[in-house]
Structure 1
Amino acid sequence: MMDLDSAFNHLQHVDRQHRVWADYYSMRGRYQLLTGDLNAAEQSFQQGLPIARLYNDTYTTSDILLHLSELYEQRGEFAKTRPLLDELLTIGQTNQVGTYQLKALRTLSRMEYRLKKPEAAYRYLTAYIELSDSLHYNEVTAKLHEMEEKYNLSEAENKLLVLQRENQQKDFALERNRLYIGLLIGIAVPLFICCILVFLLYRNKKKLLVQQQQIHAIDMERIEHLHRNSLLSALLEGQEKERERLARDLHDGLGGILSSIKMDLSRISTAMSADVAQRKGLAIVVNNLDDAVEELRGIAHSMMPSMLTNYGLAEALREYCDKLKRAGCPIFFQAFRYENSMEQPRQLLLYRIVQELVNNCVKHAHPKEILVQLQQTDEAITLTVEDDGVGFDTAEPYAGAGLRNVAMRVGLLHGTLEIRSDIGVGTTFTVECPITATNDTLRKVG
C-alpha cells in the first residue's frame, strides 16, 4: 500500500487522462480486491476503465474487466458480470488475447453453473477447452476430465434429487460410480504423465543421436580437410625440394661449365690479336655467354631465392620487384612494419603467391603499374597485389591454374583471399594470414 501511495504522489503532476493512470487504478483495484475492500476496488476499476478504453489499451482494459467481473461475481451480481465478460471475450477475439479469453470463458462457465444452467455452463466450458487446448494441451487434459466429471456428477445429482423419493437405492449406485470415476482418473493421470515422460525421453534421446551424427560428420569433414592439406603440403614440399635441387645443379653444374667456356674463349681472343674480325666474333660469343650465365642465375634464383633464406620475405620481394623493374615491368614494392618473424616455409608460400599474382598481372592484365605491399600487424600478415589493368569478372570461376594455385597456398596458410576487380579499372588481390600456423598440418616446404 505504501508503494501505491508513493506512486499516487508521484503522478500528481501527470494529466488525469494520461494512460499511466489506467495502470495505477488497475493495480490499486487489484490490491483492494485482494484485501476484501470491494467497494473501493469497484471505484478504482471504474476510474481506470474509461482511460484504458480511451487509449485502446487492450491489456489494461482486459485486466480491469476481468477483475471487475470477479468482484461482481463475489457479490453475486451476475447481471453486472455478464456484460463485462462479453466485452472481454470480444476484445480477446479481436486482439488475439488468448489468456483473457480463457479466463472470461472460465468465469462464464462457473457463473452459469452457479445459476443452475448446466447446458450453458457446458457450452462455455467446451469453448474454454477448445481455446486452451492449442496453448496448454498437457495441463488442460487433466482439467478436462475433472470438469467432465463435475458435469456428469451434476447431472447425476439433479436426476437423483428428482428420483430420490422413488428409488433410494440409486444413492449407492451413484457413490459407486463416483468411486469408479475417481479410480479411473487416479490411474489415467499417472499413466498419462508416464507416457509424456517416455515420449520426452525418446525425443531427447533421438535429438542426442542426431547431434552425435552431426558432430561425427563434422569431425570426418575436418579430418578429410586436414588430410587434404597434409597431401598438398607434401606435394609443395616435394616441388620446392626439386626446385632447390635443380637450382643448385644449374648454378653449380651448368653455370660452372659456361663460366669455364667464357674463360677459354677470352684466352683464345687474346691469342688471336692479329685477326680483328675473328676477335669481334669471339667478343660477341663471350657477350652471349654472359647473357646466358645471367639468365641461368635468374632462373636458379627464381626457383630458390637465396635472398629470402638469408634476409627474409621483405627483402626477397624487394629484390624480385627490382629485377622486374630493370627488365621494363612497371612494378613497385612497399613494406610496412614487417619484422621477419614468420617461419621460413610460410614466407616461401607468400613469395610463391606474389610470383603467381604478378605473373598473372603481366600476362593477362596489361597494366601500366603494379603495386605490391607487405604489411604486418601484431598477429597477421597482409599481402596486397594491385594493378590498373583490364580487370575481369570475379563472378566467373577461375579459368586458369594460377589463381587455383594461389587459393590452395592461401588455404595452407590458413588465410583468406579477397579479389576485387572492375573491368577497365584494375584488380586488387588481398591475402591475409596469421603469422604462425594454427595447427600442425602445415609441414615445412623447401
Structure 2
Amino acid sequence: MTEGAPSIFLIILLGFVLTLLMGSFIVLMALLHRKRQLEHIQKIDALQSEFDKTMLRVEKEIQEDTLTHVGRELHDNIGQLLSLTKLTLSSNKPEKSIEAKSLLNQVIKEVRGLSKSLNLDWVSHVSIDDFIKRELAKLEALDFCKVEFENIGHAFEIDNSKKLVLIRVIQECLNNAIKHAKPSLIILKIHYFPDHVQILVSDDGLGFEIGSSCEGSGLLNLSKRMEMIGGTILINSELQKGTQIKLKLPSSMI
C-alpha cells in the first residue's frame, strides 16, 4: 500500500500536468482564434473605409463633370433660348407670342433636365447599356469620331454603388481616348456572361507604351477602382495601333 502510493501520486500529478497543458493549449487556440477574428474585422473595416473614400471621390468627380456640363448648357443652350425668347417677345406680331410660349416651354424642359442631372439618384434609374449609349451619342453629336456599340447577352442589374464606380471608369476610358488618342473610331462592347459582365473599350488612335510614367498613375487609379468593386481591368496598347481596355466584373460581386 505504501509502495504503491508514489505511483498513484505520479499518475495523479501526470494527469494534472496533462490537464493543465490541455487547458493551456485550448486557451492559446482560443486567443489565436480571437486574434485572427479581430484582424479579419480590422481588414474588413479598412476595406470598407477605402471603398467609402473611393465612392466619395467618384461622386465628387461625377458632380464636378455634371456642373461643368450644366454651366456649358446654361451658357450655350438655355442662355441662347432665353435670348431668342426675349427677341420674340419684343415683337408686336401676334403669332410671335405663340412662338415665345413654345420657346419658354422648351427652356422649362431643359432646366428640368439639368436639375435631374445634378442628383446622383439618376444612377438607380439608368442601366450601364443606356449610359454607354448616351455617352457615345454625345461624341456623335460633337462629330468627334465614329462610334460603335454592341450588346451581347441578357443584362442583369448591378448594385448602385458598384454601378457608379463602373460608370466613372467607363467615362475615364472614353475621356482618355478623347484627350490623348485622337481616334477616328471608338468601339464599346458589353457582354453579359452567366458569371460576369465584360466591357471592352477600344479605339484606333495613337496608342501608348504601357510602362510610361505619364499614363501609369491614371491606369493605376482605374485598376484600384475596379479592384475596389471586385472587378479587374486589362489594358493593351501599342503606338500607332490603338488601345483596348477590358473591364470585367463577376456577377458574384454585383
> TM-score scaled to structure 2, two decimals?
0.64
Cα displacement (A) at 1:209 = 0.6
CA 1:263–1:186 in structure 2 vs 1: closer, same or farther (change >3 Å)? closer
Aligned to 2:175: 359
Give the one of 226, 240, 243 matched to 1:410: 226
Question: How far, CA to CA, are the matches of 1:397 and 1:185 in structure 2?
Answer: 80
Partner of 1:51: none
The CA deviation at 1:219 is 0.2
Q: Which residue of the partner structure matches residue 431 of structure 1?
A: 247
Residues 214, 398 of structure 1: alpha-carbon distance in 2 compared, 3 angstrom cutoff: farther
The secondary structure found in structure 1 opposite 2:216 is coil
- Could you tell me which amino acid in structure 1 is paired with residue 12 of structure 2? P
1:399 corresponds in structure 2 to 216
Name the counterpart of 2:97. Answer: none
- Residue in 2 aligned with 1:143? none
User: How far apart in 2 are the matches of 1:309 and 1:210?
Assistant: 43
Matching residue's letter, 2:9: I
Q: Which residue of 1 aligns with 2:110?
A: none
Which of these two proteins has the greater Rg computed from alpha carbons?
Answer: 1
Q: Which residue matches 1:225?
A: 47
| Matches of 2:66 and 2:183, distance apart in 1 | 31
Secondary structure of the corresponding residue to residue 7 of structure 2: helix
Are the structure 2 counterparts of residues 202 and 411 from structure 1 closer, same or farther at C-alpha, using a change threshold of 3 Å? same
Cα RMSD, aligned residues only = 4.4
Please tell me whether the aligned partners of residues 410 and 416 of structure 1 are also in contact (alpha carbons under 8 angstroms): yes
Tell me, yes or no, if the aligned pair for 1:360 and 1:402 is still in contact at 8 Å: no
Alignment of structure 1 residues 357-396 onto 2, 5 Å: 357-364=173-180, 369-378=185-194, 380-387=196-203, 390-393=207-210
The 5-angstrom pairing of residues 259-298 of structure 1 reads: 259-261=81-83
Contact 1:420 1:427 in 2 (8 A): yes
Matched to 1:315, the amino acid is D
Amino acid at match of 2:216: A
What is the CA-CA distance between 1:354 and the residue it aligns to?
Answer: 1.4
How much does 1:373 deviate?
Answer: 1.2
Quick one: distance in 1 between partners of 2:213 and 2:10?
66
- Percent same amino acid at aligned positions? 14
In structure 2, C-alpha distance between the alignment counterparts of 1:247 and 1:376, rounded to whole Å: 31
- Kindly indicate whether the alpha-carbon contact (under 8 Å) linking 1:312 and 1:340 is maintained by their aligned counterparts in 2: no
1:185 aligns to 2:7 (yes or no):
yes
- Partner amino acid, structure 2, of 1:198: L
**Residue 149 of structure 1: aligned partner:** none
User: Structure 1: 5+ residue runs without aligned partners?
Assistant: 1-175, 267-299, 439-446
Letter in 1 for 2:13: L
CA distance in 1, matches of 2:146, 2:76: 32
| Contact 1:343–1:436 (8 Å) recurs in 2 | no
- 1:313 aligned to which of 128, 132, 138: 128
- Give the drift of 1:212: 0.8
Tell me the distance in 2 between the aligned counterparts of 1:350 and 1:207: 43
Q: Would you tell me which structure has more strand in proportion to its own residues?
A: 2
Shift of 1:230: 2.3
What whole-Å deviation, never above 9, does each CA across 1:371-408 have from its counterpart, x for those lacking one?
3211224564322223465453469897334641x335
**Equivalent of residue 419 in structure 1, options 215, 230, 234:** 234
User: Secondary structure in 1 aligned to 2:209?
Assistant: coil
- CA distance in 1 between counterparts of 2:72 and 2:238 reads 41
What are the ranges of 5 or more consecutive residues in structure 2 without an aligned counterpart?
89-113
CA contact (8 A) 1:391 1:421 kept: no
> 1:312: how far off?
3.5
| Matched residue, 2:37 | 215
Distance 1:316 1:186, change over 3 A: closer
Q: What does the per-residue CA deviation read over 1:109-152, in whole Å, with 9 as the maximum and x for residues that have no partner? A: xxxxxxxxxxxxxxxxxxxxxxxxxxxxxxxxxxxxxxxxxxxx
Following the alignment from structure 1 to structure 2, what is the Cα–Cα distance between the partners of residues 201 and 322? 70
Give the number of the structure whose residues are more often helix, by fraction: 1
How many angstroms does 1:238 deviate by?
A: 4.4
Q: 2 CA distance for matches of 1:378 and 1:355?
A: 25
For residue 399 of structure 1, give the secondary structure of its aligned residue in structure 2.
helix
How many pairs does the alignment contain?
225
> Looking at both structures, which has the greater relative contact order when contacts are Cα pairs under 8 Å and sequence separation is at least 6?
2
